[in-house]
Structure 1
C-alpha cells in the first residue's frame, strides 16, 4: 500500500512539472499547451529567417564590393584605407521553447553596417569618385603627356574675282607637345569629405611652320619655342552627399579653385617688331617663351555621380568653370614696347562626362568614358575678342587600374581627341599611395 501511495504522489509531481508536460505524448496534452509551443516555434523560425536574410545580404554586398575593388584590403589604394567591414556579432542563445528536445535558438543581433563609400573604378577623369577616409593621407604623383597638331590657312588681302587674290596667304602648321608632372595630396576631413591640393610642373614645346606677315616672302620658317615652370596650383574640396548602395546612386559635390601661380601669357615676350596689330605689324605674332599658366583665377563647382549596376559601375559628372576677369592688361613686344590690351575675360566652360567601369578581377579594372567641354568666347573690353569663337572639346578615354598592394595602385589612361581643337592624344599615368 505504501508503494502505491508513493507511486501516486510521484505521478502527481510529474504531471505538475512543465518540463514533464512537454515529454508527454500529444494526446495527453491540452490544446493550449500545444498552441503555446507552436507560437514559440514560429517566433524562433521568424528570427532565424531574419538573421539568414541579413547574412545573405552581407555576403552579396561583400561579393559585389570585391568585384569592383570596394572594401577589403585592396580598395584603399586610391583613396586611403577603406572602412573595415564589421564582423557580425554572434547573438546569445535564447531559451528553448516549451517543447523539450529542441536546439537552442540564436537571437537576432545588430544588423551589419554597410559600407557607405562609392565603388572604386579605374579613374579616367580628373575628379576621383572615391573619397579619402577620415584622417588618411593619399599622395598621388602623376605624369601626363599631350600632343596636338593643327593647320591654319588665312587669306590676308582682298579678291577682285573669286579666283584672284591680291595679298598674302598665311599658312601655319603647329605641332605642340605638353608634359605635366603633378604631385597631388588628398586628406580625409571626414568619411564624407576630403581636401585636395595639386602642384603641377609643366614643360611645353611648340613648332610652328609659317611665313612672316606683310613681308612678301614666300619662304616658310620653322619657329620653335618652349617653356617650363610651375603651373597653376589647384585646391579642391569634395563632399559625399548621400549613402548609396547596390542599385542606388552616389553623389559627390566638388568645388575647385584654380590659381594663377604659373607664368601667364601676358608675361612673355611676343615676336612682333611693333604692335601685333595694325598696318606696320611684322613678325610671327607668337610668344618667344611659352606660358605655364592660364593667367586667370577660376572657380569650378561640380557634381559627380556613381551608379553601381552589377557587374558594372556607371559614372559621370557635370561642371561649370567660371574665369574671373582681369583689367589693365598689356603684353610686351619684341622691341621692348608694351601693347595695352585693356580688360580680358576668358569664356566660361560648361563640361560633362560619363563612362562605365568593369572589374576584370580583384586587382584589375577597366573604364571607358567620354569627356566634353564647351568654351564660350573670350571677351576683351566687354566685347567678343577678334577671332574668338565658341570652342568644343571632345575626348574619348579608356583607362585601366591595377592594385600593386593594399596601399598602392597604378592607373593609366589614354585619351583621343574627337574635335579639331582637342589634343590628338593624351596619356596619363597615376600612382596613388596611401600613407
Structure 2
C-alpha cells in the first residue's frame, strides 16, 4: 500500500475512533451550561418574587393607613358638621373646603368666633358687651368655620358662620334643643378731666375768679351669667343677669373756696345690674357669596340700683343757685334707672377665608314721670319728667379662622347718644355724645362644648372708656 494512502487510512480510523470520545466530552459541557442557566433564572425569579412580595406588603400598609384616616374622618365629620351646621357631603367637596380653595359650590369659607356681635352681630356678630359696649359670640362662641353650599345643605340648618365675638350679640344662633350657659367678666376703665371757669376776664390772658378742675377715674367690673336656647334652627332666646361693681375717684379743688389743696372724693357701689331679655331670628338662608341677615330685639329692665335711689352729696339742693356739697353720689348706681328696648339688624357675609359682619341698631329709653333725687338728710329733690336720649349704633368688622380651633376678629363699634330732656326741654349742658371703640377679639375652641373668647376695646372718642376687656367661656349642653 502506498505510504500516503496508508497515512490517510490511519488518520480516518483514528478520527472514527476518537469521535465518540469527542461527543462524550461535548455532551456533559452542554448539560452543565443549561444547569447554570436554569440556576440563574431561578435566582432572578426568586428576586422578582421577593420584590413583588415587598410591593404587596407596602400596598397593604398604605391601604390600612388610608382606612384609618377615613375612619378618623368619618368619626370627626359628625362633630364637624354639628359645629359648622354642615350635613355630610361628597369627599371631593370636603377636601376642597378643607384646602380653602373650594368654589361657589363647595360652601362658604372658614371664618373666625361674638363674636360673634351684639348690639352688634347678633348671635350675629359675632359676633363679641352690654348694650353699647361689648367687647358674642358669646361673643364668644366657637371659632368660625366653613359653611356648606346652600344647594347641598338642609334648609332647616342653614345657619351663618361663627366669628370670634366682639360685640354683645353672638354670631350664630343656638340650634334647636341646645342650651348655652355663658359666664363672662368685663372690665372697663375711663378717665376724664373737667375744667370750669367761675369769674370773668379782663383780657384773654387774665382771669379774675376761680377755676374748678376735676379729674375722674372710673373702674367698672361686670360679671354676668347668660343663658340662651334655640326655639328652632332660626330663632333663639336669651336671658342675661349681670352683677356690677363700680368705683370712682374724683380729684378736685373745691369751687368757691379759693384753696389750692386738692381733694379726693372716692365712692363705690355693687349690686345686681339691669337684667336683659333678648330674642333673635334669622331672616334668610345665606350661603357662599350671599349674606345672612338676623333680626334682634332686646329688652332691658330696671332691676339694678337706680341713680335716683342713691344719696347725692348735697345738703338740701343739687340744682339752682344754692348748691351745697360736691353734687356727687355717695354710692354708685348699678343700673340706668330707665327701661329700654333695642331693635337691631345684623348681617354676615362669608368670603373665603374670612367672614365680614356688621350691625345697625336703635335703643329707645322710656321716659319716667315724677322722678325725684335723694339728697342728704333724707330730702327728696323733685326732677319732674326725664326722657333719656335714644342711641343709634352701628358696627362692622371681619372674622378670620386661624385653624380649626382658633379665630381672630377685628371691628369698630360706634354709638350716637341723643340729648336728655327734662320736662320736655333739653337739659342744660346736655349735648349729643359720640362713642367710638376699636375692638380686637380672639376665640379658642377647646371642644365642641366649651370655648374661650377674649376681646379688647380701645376708646377713640373722649367720652368712650379708655379700655375694656371682656372674657367669656360659653358651655353647650
Quickly name the TM-score band, shorter chain normalised. 0.7 to 0.9
**Structure-2 residue corresponding to 1:433:** 475
Within 5 Å, give how 1:368-407 maps onto structure 2.
368-407=410-449
TM-score computed with the length of structure 2 as normaliser = 0.70
Give the distance between the partners of 2:405 and 2:265, measured in 1 at CA.
Answer: 47
Give the distance between the partners of 1:232 and 1:112, measured in 2 at CA.
Answer: 40
Q: Structure 2 unaligned segments of length 5 or more: list them.
A: 1-88, 101-107, 114-136
Verify the 8 A CA contact 1:79 1:132 in the aligned structure 2.
Answer: no
Q: Secondary structure at the match of 1:353?
A: strand
Q: CA, structure 1 residues 112+305, in 2 after alignment: closer, same or farther (shift >3 Å)?
A: closer
Per-residue CA deviation, residues 231-277 of structure 1 (Å, 9 max, x unaligned), is 00000000000001111100010000011100010001111122112
Using the TM superposition, give the Cα deviation of residue 159 of structure 1 relative to its aligned residue in structure 2, in angstroms. 2.8
Q: Structure 1 unaligned segments of length 5 or more: list them.
A: 1-52, 71-75, 87-109
Verify the 8 A CA contact 1:79 1:133 in the aligned structure 2.
Answer: no
Give the distance between the partners of 2:199 and 2:314, measured in 1 at CA.
Answer: 20
Per-residue CA deviation, residues 16-74 of structure 1 (Å, 9 max, x unaligned), is xxxxxxxxxxxxxxxxxxxxxxxxxxxxxxxxxxxxx976556545766683379xxxx
Q: Please tell me whether residue 123 in structure 1 is matched to residue 143 in structure 2.
A: no
Within 5 Å, give how 1:66-145 maps onto structure 2.
67-68=110-111, 113=154, 115-145=157-187
Q: Secondary structure at the match of 1:269?
A: coil
**Structure-1 residue corresponding to 2:196:** 154
Using the TM superposition, give the Cα deviation of residue 349 of structure 1 relative to its aligned residue in structure 2, in angstroms. 0.3
**Considering only aligned residues, what root-mean-square deviation do their CA atoms show, in Å?**
2.5
Of residues 242, 245, 256, the one that matches 1:200 is 242
Give the distance between the partners of 2:299 and 2:417, measured in 1 at CA.
Answer: 18
**Structure-2 residue corresponding to 1:12:** none
Q: Please tell me whether residue 339 in structure 1 is matched to residue 381 in structure 2.
A: yes
Q: Please tell me whether residue 320 in structure 1 is matched to residue 362 in structure 2.
A: yes
Q: Please tell me whether residue 306 in structure 1 is matched to residue 348 in structure 2.
A: yes
Q: CA, structure 1 residues 121+335, in 2 after alignment: closer, same or farther (shift >3 Å)?
A: same
Q: Please tell me whether residue 212 in structure 1 is matched to residue 254 in structure 2.
A: yes
Q: CA, structure 1 residues 310+343, in 2 after alignment: closer, same or farther (shift >3 Å)?
A: same
**Structure-2 residue corresponding to 1:188:** 230
Q: CA, structure 1 residues 55+287, in 2 after alignment: closer, same or farther (shift >3 Å)?
A: same
**Structure-2 residue corresponding to 1:18:** none
Per-residue CA deviation, residues 293-332 of structure 1 (Å, 9 max, x unaligned), is 0000010000010000011100010000000000111111
Of residues 244, 256, 269, the one that matches 2:286 is 244
Verify the 8 A CA contact 1:69 1:363 in the aligned structure 2.
Answer: no
Give the distance between the partners of 1:228 and 1:323, measured in 2 at CA.
Answer: 23
Give the distance between the partners of 2:112 and 2:430, measured in 1 at CA.
Answer: 45
Q: Secondary structure at the match of 1:255?
A: strand
Give the distance between the partners of 2:377 and 2:109, measured in 1 at CA.
Answer: 64
Q: Please tell me whether residue 410 in structure 1 is matched to residue 466 in structure 2.
A: no
Q: Secondary structure at the match of 2:219?
A: strand
Per-residue CA deviation, residues 159-214 of structure 1 (Å, 9 max, x unaligned), is 34333333321100000000000000011000000000000000000000012233
**Structure-1 residue corresponding to 2:372:** 330
**Structure-2 residue corresponding to 1:422:** 464
Verify the 8 A CA contact 1:261 1:293 in the aligned structure 2.
Answer: yes
**Structure-2 residue corresponding to 1:366:** 408
Using the TM superposition, give the Cα deviation of residue 333 of structure 1 relative to its aligned residue in structure 2, in angstroms. 1.5
Give the distance between the partners of 1:152 and 1:325, measured in 2 at CA.
Answer: 28
Give the distance between the partners of 1:157 and 1:330, measured in 2 at CA.
Answer: 31
Q: CA, structure 1 residues 389+112, in 2 after alignment: closer, same or farther (shift >3 Å)?
A: closer
TM-score computed with the length of structure 1 as normaliser = 0.77
Within 5 Å, give how 1:270-281 maps onto structure 2.
270-281=312-323
- Structure that is richer in helix per residue: 2
Q: Secondary structure at the match of 1:271?
A: coil
Of residues 173, 178, 194, the one that matches 2:215 is 173
Structure 1 or 2, whichever has the larger Rg, is 2
**Structure-2 residue corresponding to 1:221:** 263
Verify the 8 A CA contact 1:197 1:236 in the aligned structure 2.
Answer: yes
Give the distance between the partners of 2:299 and 2:393, measured in 1 at CA.
Answer: 16
Using the TM superposition, give the Cα deviation of residue 79 of structure 1 relative to its aligned residue in structure 2, in angstroms. 6.1
Verify the 8 A CA contact 2:442 2:455 in the aligned structure 1.
Answer: yes
Q: CA, structure 1 residues 199+63, in 2 after alignment: closer, same or farther (shift >3 Å)?
A: farther
Q: Secondary structure at the match of 1:335?
A: helix
Q: Please tell me whether residue 282 in structure 1 is matched to residue 288 in structure 2.
A: no
Q: CA, structure 1 residues 158+274, in 2 after alignment: closer, same or farther (shift >3 Å)?
A: farther
